[in-house]
Structure 1
Amino acid sequence: MYNLFKLVRLNNLVMIAITQYLVRFCIIAPILTIKGLSLQMSEFWFAMLVLATVLLAAGGYAINDYFDTKTDSINRPNRVLVGKAFTRQFAIKLHFVLSTIGSLLGIAASFYVGVWQYALIFPLVGGLLWLYSTTYKAQLLVGNLIISLMAAMVPLIVLMFEVARITKTILPVLQQNQITLNAIAYWVVGFSFFAFITTFIREVVKDMEDFDGDAETGRNTIPVAFGMTAAKVVACIAAAVEVAAIYGIYFGYLSVLPTGEVDWLSLSYITLTIAIPFAILLFRIVKAKAPSHYRLTSLLIKLIMLAGVFYTVIFYVVLSNVYQLS
């Protein structure tokens, strides 16, 4: 069972579920409360949406390991599971079962919220993850961008389905009271942007870590195509842009609360858990030489991503203090 959890990256799946629940209850729910509204998607169907997302991701991890066996045997031979702990046939079947169930749940949730077009997302994601593992991962930048987009979709899909359900159930209330959901959209899209850029940085760092295996198996990653120095420059620029964007948004729109007070809690959290770790990250990327150095850098990126996810809790606390939410 332990090896199965490793195959489907249980820790990543847990974080996907936590992220979606935090976006729902710490961003969307309190903003709706301030506007005199409430969540319209039932807890059951939201759980089905989360499960659909998690199962598709798990299926993607399984098929990725299936096609990565040769490369992983060079880069991380002690962590290869397909062909050792599990047969290749098992990995294929597991991918098919998880992706099929995830797609069916997502399709059902789409019809529940009243937007049948959303049903197309889930089989498309499953197919895209297959193509990523078989083709796009070996192409310059394409694989990095696909995985970054998948990460950005994790919070964004919560927004899409909740807004669709709200529009279906209480649209007249919104129109009569001239209520918009722009604030919710801005916040969730902001988190999606954070997920996209941070995941992109991590993908580039992973490519640097996996340079030997990628070069030997013919993968055209940034380090292989342009060299390690160029890859470091790309990762550092992306990190600098992300930190600049976060502080730009904070000082431009968030620093002063509706009460007139400065939001010191958000500023402290951003600085201590995101900006300073990013500075350390930049230093480590520049100094990194051996694969083990990039492994530690990749771990630091995961911690930054975790801090970004849990800023939702800080956001909820700030709103609760300002608007006296119960």
Structure 2
Amino acid sequence: MHGYLAITRPVNSVIAGLAGVLGYLIATGTVRPEAALLIGIVALVTAAGNTINDYCDAEIDAVNRPDRPIPSGAVSGRGALIYAALLFTGGVALALVTNPLCLGIAVFNSVLLVLYAVRLKGTPFLGNLAVAYLSSSIFLFGGALAGAEGLLATLPVAGVTLLAMLAREVLKDAEDVEGDRAGGARTLPMLIGVPRSVTLALGFALAAVVLSMLPVFRWWGLPYLLAIGTLNIAVLFRSAGVRGCDTPACVRTSGVTSTLKKGMFLSLLVFTAAAILC
């Protein structure tokens, strides 16, 4: 049974569920008991996605990660496939007791998780885009529990997450060009080069900064502006070190992927505080 638990990445799945609750909090400024449904739905769908991903990566993991549940024999390939189907079914079934918006997102994301594992993961940029959307859509899902207005309220944080994740995903691929080439993978930096990938990623990061200002005009005011503005300046300043990089080693040395990860976390804190206090 331990293998079936490990294959779902339970900690990551629960954290994803909590992010759904955070989306609801940002949308409404409060948390009601029904928001607990979000944890279960998101955790089940995320666990299913992790399981189907391991199923599709079984041959690669047999070489690179033989300790994982399928290569180690703790979970059979057929067992993983059935398990993923049950988890997806459980997540979507639980979404039936929410509302049509949440149900639609749950179904769409379930299909996309399968498509990502089967096809998109090895597709340049589309795989990056799928990862970025799936991460950002958790906040949309949480907001959708409060209806269309809640969904609208979470658009800025979802948009910022999408753009920042896209920037980070492209830069991570730029860091790993040598390893990906040796492994036979095809990524965006391998197609357009590291310099253009860096420029594109910085463009996404700048767009995230611009989008983060939207709530100043629609929901929140000066305190939010000061907090998010200070954070944006710090992130852009730290990210500037990657400009001009034309090699994977340069991108790695810049530390920009770590900066973007910390920036996303801190921006969520700012969004949450603003939703509660402003």
The TM-score range, normalised by the shorter chain, is 0.7 to 0.9
**What SS does the aligned partner of 2:205 have?**
helix
Q: Could you say which residue in structure 2 is the equivalent of 1:175?
A: none
1:308 to 264, 267, 273: 267
CA shift at 1:194, angstroms? 1.0
> Is residue 59 of structure 1 aligned with residue 25 of structure 2?
no
User: Are 1:210 and 1:291, in contact at CA under 8 Å, matched by a contact in 2?
Assistant: no
2:171 to 201, 205, 216: 205
Q: Could you say which residue in structure 2 is the equivalent of 1:109?
A: 97
1:83 to 71, 92, 99: 71
Q: Does 305-314 or 292-301 show the bigger shift?
A: 292-301
CA shift at 1:19, angstroms? 2.4
Q: Which amino acid aligns with 2:20?
A: Q
Give structure 1 stretches of 5+ with no counterpart: 31-38, 165-180, 258-262, 320-326
Q: Could you say which residue in structure 1 is the equivalent of 2:237?
A: 279
Q: Which amino acid aligns with 2:93?
A: L
1:290 to 230, 249, 258: 249
Distance 2:145 2:215 in 1: 27
Distance 1:2 1:295 in 2: 39
Q: Could you say which residue in structure 1 is the equivalent of 2:133?
A: 149
Q: Percent identity?
A: 19
User: Are 2:61 and 2:71, in contact at CA under 8 Å, matched by a contact in 1?
Assistant: no
CA shift at 1:222, angstroms? 0.6
Q: Which amino acid aligns with 1:243?
A: V
Relative distance call for 1:59 and 1:281 in structure 2 (3 A) is: farther
TM-score, with length taken from structure 1: 0.69
Larger radius of gyration: 1
CA shift at 1:127, angstroms? 2.5
Distance 1:7 1:272 in 2: 40
Q: Which amino acid aligns with 1:203?
A: E
**What SS does the aligned partner of 2:199 have?**
helix
Relative distance call for 1:194 and 1:141 in structure 2 (3 A) is: same
Q: Could you say which residue in structure 2 is the equivalent of 1:130?
A: 114
Distance 1:26 1:251 in 2: 14
Q: Does 299-308 or 129-138 show the bigger shift?
A: 299-308
> Is residue 194 of structure 1 aligned with residue 160 of structure 2?
yes
**Could you report, residue by residue, the CA deviation over 1:100-146 in whole angstroms, capped at 9, with x for unpaired residues?**
2212212x224xx3x3x754543442232111111112223222222
Task: Show the 5 A alignment for 1:1-326.
Answer: 7-29=7-29, 43-44=33-34, 46-68=35-57, 77=64, 81=68, 82-84=70-72, 86-87=74-75, 89=77, 91-106=80-95, 108-110=96-98, 113=99, 115=100, 119-163=103-147, 181=149, 184-247=150-213, 249=214, 257=221, 263=222, 265-284=223-242, 287=245, 289-290=248-249, 293=252, 297-319=256-278
User: Are 1:239 and 1:282, in contact at CA under 8 Å, matched by a contact in 2?
Assistant: no
Aligned residues: 275
Q: Which amino acid aligns with 1:226?
A: I
Q: Which amino acid aligns with 1:97?
A: L
CA RMSD of aligned residues (A): 3.6
**Could you report, residue by residue, the CA deviation over 1:140-188 in whole angstroms, capped at 9, with x for unpaired residues?**
3222222222222211122323216xxxxxxxxxxxxxxxx4xx55431
CA shift at 1:72, angstroms? 6.4
